[in-house]
Amino acid sequence: MAFKQKLANVTGLKPSLIPSSYQILGDIMLLKVPNATQAEKNKIARGAMLLLPYVRSVCEIKEVKGELRQPAVKLIAGERTETIHTENNVKYHLDVSKIMFSKGNLNERQRLIKKIKKDETIVDMFAGIGYFSLPIAKHTKAKKIVAIEKNLDAFRFLKNNIQLNNLTNVQTIWGDCKDFAKSVTNFADRIIMGYFPDTEEFLPYAVRIAKNNAIVHFHNIYSAKDLWKKPLKQIEEACSQQSCGFEVLEKKKVKSYKPGVFHVVVDFKIIKE
Ligand SMILES: C[S@@+](CC[C@H](N)C(=O)[O-])C[C@H]1O[C@@H](n2cnc3c(N)ncnc32)[C@H](O)[C@@H]1O
């Protein structure tokens, strides 16, 4: 029997009130319950904890907002919003009320690891709590990963997660990746731009940070009708402004973001000489 039906049975609520999807991070369940009253939300949360005994807290998630990607999350049942989530042998300590974590990007994290070559210097321009930097440091032979993060909450978890996973080759910078790019040029073999929307604004900074032949992983969101003309034009503009060439290596849909809109990634090589 599907979880939704089991939860309807255990709570005695109409199936239309029960969310059809949920996300579990560590021992915390996150769900959307837009049409339920507080009493119904409490029943749903208690029912979920009964059905999945390893779940220690249940939280309602409304949206992930703003430049710093802060989630609107409220605890419904349990006591904690902090947890340790493990994925691909990497531990991520996070507070779901302060930090987002997209399980939908798992395939992308795994795809990226396979691309990294020995001794690369990598810049993770939007490091968050280490979504990309930690698995790269753990599973590849990269020389150094510079992980830049602007949100202080995320930055603190990033520092903590580096220790938690016993990693030694991640250097952290609390600040704006644009400022880093103003002081550093021809630095990285690979640049990760794991952020959206409007990531194109940051392309000129990625081009500056790149060495000749560096590879950029450019994430953004586009409506289906703009694929792939718009992202390729944005890359072309950023490269030609700095008199660079480029070669597209791969372009992929990462996940559906909302109806008709996709989170995509374009891998391209920057040619400076
Ligand atoms: C949440 S992550 C993206 C999600 C991640 N790629 C994943 O796999 O789940 C994006 C991060 O970029 C950070 N950020 C936004 N603008 C920034 C900037 N200008 N410089 C550095 N970090 C920035 C946000 O604070 C956020 O933590």
- Among 115, 114, 184, 171, residue whose Cα is nearest residue 144: 171
Residue 122 lies in a domain: yes
- For residue 174, is the peptide bond before it cis, meaning its omega torsion is within 30 degrees of 0? no
* Model pLDDT, residue 238: 98
Number of domains in the chain: 2
Strands 188-193 and 210-223: parallel
On whether both 19 and 62 belong to a single domain, the answer is yes
On whether both 34 and 147 belong to a single domain, the answer is no
Which of 65, 80, 95 corresponds to the end of one domain? 80
Containing domain of residue 37, as a range? 3-80
On whether both 173 and 229 belong to a single domain, the answer is yes
Residue 99 lies in a domain: no
On whether both 71 and 182 belong to a single domain, the answer is no
Which of 80, 113, 146 corresponds to the end of one domain? 80
> What does the buried/exposed string (b/e) look like for 9-23 if buried means 16 or more CB atoms within 10 Å of the residue's CB?
ebbebeeebbbeebb
Which of 23, 151, 196, 209 is the pocket-test mutation for ligand 1 (most atoms within 8 Å of CB)?
Answer: 151
Tens digit of pLDDT for each residue in 133-188?
A: 999 999 999 999 999 999 999 999 999 999 999 999 999 999 999 999 999 999 99
On whether both 121 and 236 belong to a single domain, the answer is yes
On whether both 61 and 190 belong to a single domain, the answer is no
* Model pLDDT, residue 2: 85
Residue 93 lies in a domain: no
CATH number at residue 253: 3.40.50.150
On whether both 66 and 153 belong to a single domain, the answer is no
Tens digit of pLDDT for each residue in 25-34?
A: 999 999 998 8
Global confidence as pTM: 0.93
On whether both 72 and 128 belong to a single domain, the answer is no
Residue 197 lies in a domain: yes
Q: Whose CA is nearest to atom 2 of ligand 1?
A: 128
* Model pLDDT, residue 71: 75
Which of 134, 149, 157 is the pocket-test mutation for ligand 1 (most atoms within 8 Å of CB)?
Answer: 149
Matching residue, tokens 């698995």: 135
Residue 88 lies in a domain: no
Which of 69, 152, 200 is the pocket-test mutation for ligand 1 (most atoms within 8 Å of CB)?
Answer: 69
Atom of ligand 1 nearest to the CA of 176: 20
What are the two backbone dihedrals, phi and then psi, of residue 96, each rounded to the nearest 5 degrees? -65, -15
Gap from CA of 126 to ligand 1 centroid (Å): 4
* Model pLDDT, residue 86: 96
**DSSP E strands, the chain:** 22-25, 28-31, 57-65, 70-77, 82-87, 90-95, 121-124, 144-149, 170-174, 188-193, 210-223, 245-258, 261-271
Residue 96 lies in a domain: no
Residue 33 lies in a domain: yes
Residue 85 lies in a domain: no
* Model pLDDT, residue 105: 86
On whether both 66 and 188 belong to a single domain, the answer is no
Strands 245-258 and 82-87: unpaired
- Residue ranges of the chain whose pLDDT lies below 50: none
Q: Whose CA is nearest to atom 19 of ligand 1?
A: 176
Q: Which residue ranges have their beta carbon within 6 Å of ligand 1?
A: 67-69, 100-102, 105, 126, 128, 131, 148-151, 154, 176-178, 194-195
On whether both 123 and 195 belong to a single domain, the answer is yes
